[in-house]
Amino acid sequence: MISDTFSGLSRRHEGALICYIMGGDPDLNETKSIIDSLVEAGIDILEIGIPFSEPIADGKTIQAAGIRAISSGSNWKSVLIMISEMKKKHKIPIVVMTYFNILYNPGVERFINFAKQCGVDGLIIPDLPLEESSNVAKSSKKKSMDLIMMAAPSTNQARLNALVKSSTGFIYLVSHYGVTGAKGVLSNDTINLIRRTKQSINGAIPLAVGFGISTPEQVATALSSGADGAVVGSALIELISRYNNRRERAEQIIEYVSKLKSATLTAIRP
């Protein structure tokens, strides 16, 4: 489903807008409302975090969202059940982003089987090294679930080739060193990184860029530099956290995300 989405967007000369939210922030019922707003605003792929107590790749914004989700009683199973309810309502690819311990505790195969039953289309596991991913990759492949690998600014060509070979759905390019968090602008280093990575991948798999993207201008720059998709997370979570009133929050999400999506329509694609 993820590859089909990218293929369809490519035929229409669009980039993919991928939005990240934390499952259970501020609680699961409100998460459902937030997803409704994101779909209405036109996102192409939804990325949902499963809260974890030691999120090493997350900046303070997403860490705070994880704490709120855990405090509301959310866990891996309740988030997946929530996803199953939303998949019946919205036909949109859903990717789960979480840490390996969340899979390890119930067992990798059990987690993936349940996630597939709930309609999850792909997995991103930031703390799962390529060298230790074979068990997850095997279980994911058995269930036709994409395992999306992450490439860093320091990833060399040989390792990138291995990541491309092991990844399905898309490659997630981390745009800068450090943790997640909105940035003011995309630096020239990031633009050059996107261009180099796109050239190195040579069309083998779609390339999505995340960490630091928060504005329509940054989305357009990422796509114009060669990315097939842009991931927006921290800025969206910051916006969500400002509003307790559901209607007001929905209006703000739709206004913000619609502008992000519009940037994927107008970006000059290479």
Q: In the prediction, which pLDDT does 186 show? A: 75
- Selection from 62, 145, 86 nearest residue 111 by Cα: 145
Q: In the prediction, which pLDDT does 98 show? A: 95
Q: Which parts of the chain have pLDDT scores under 70? A: 176-185, 268-270
At which residue do the structure tokens 């390792």 appear?
159
Q: In the prediction, which pLDDT does 34 show? A: 98
- Selection from 93, 112, 103, 117 nearest residue 52 by Cα: 103
Is residue 219 a contact partner of residue 262, using CB atoms and an 8 Å limit? no
Domains of the chain: 2-263 (3.20.20.70)
Q: In the prediction, which pLDDT does 53 show? A: 86
Q: In the prediction, which pLDDT does 270 show? A: 66
Give the CA count within 13 Å in the CB-facing half-sphere of 197.
33
Q: In the prediction, which pLDDT does 54 show? A: 82
pTM of the model: 0.94
At which residue do the structure tokens 């009133």 appear?
245
Q: In the prediction, which pLDDT does 110 show? A: 97
SS3 (DSSP) at 207: strand
Burial class, 6, CB count within 10 angstroms (exposed 0-12 / middle 13-18 / buried 19+): buried
Is residue 127 a contact partner of residue 99, using CB atoms and an 8 Å limit? yes
* Non-local CB neighbours of 102 within 8 Å, separated by 6+ positions: 50, 52, 76, 111
Q: In the prediction, which pLDDT does 267 show? A: 73
The catalytic residues are: 47, 58
**pLDDT digits over 145-161, tens only?**
999 999 988 899 999 99
Is residue 160 a contact partner of residue 197, using CB atoms and an 8 Å limit? yes
**pLDDT digits over 129-139, tens only?**
999 999 999 99
At which residue do the structure tokens 């992450």 appear?
150
- Per DSSP, helices labelled H in the chain are 2-11, 28-41, 60-71, 76-89, 100-104, 108-117, 134-142, 157-166, 188-201, 216-224, 234-241, 246-266
**pLDDT digits over 64-85, tens only?**
999 999 999 999 999 999 999 9
How many residues does this entry show for the chain? 270
Beta bridge partners, 47, equal: 20, 95
Q: In the prediction, which pLDDT does 180 show? A: 46
CA dist 266 and 24 (Å) reads 33
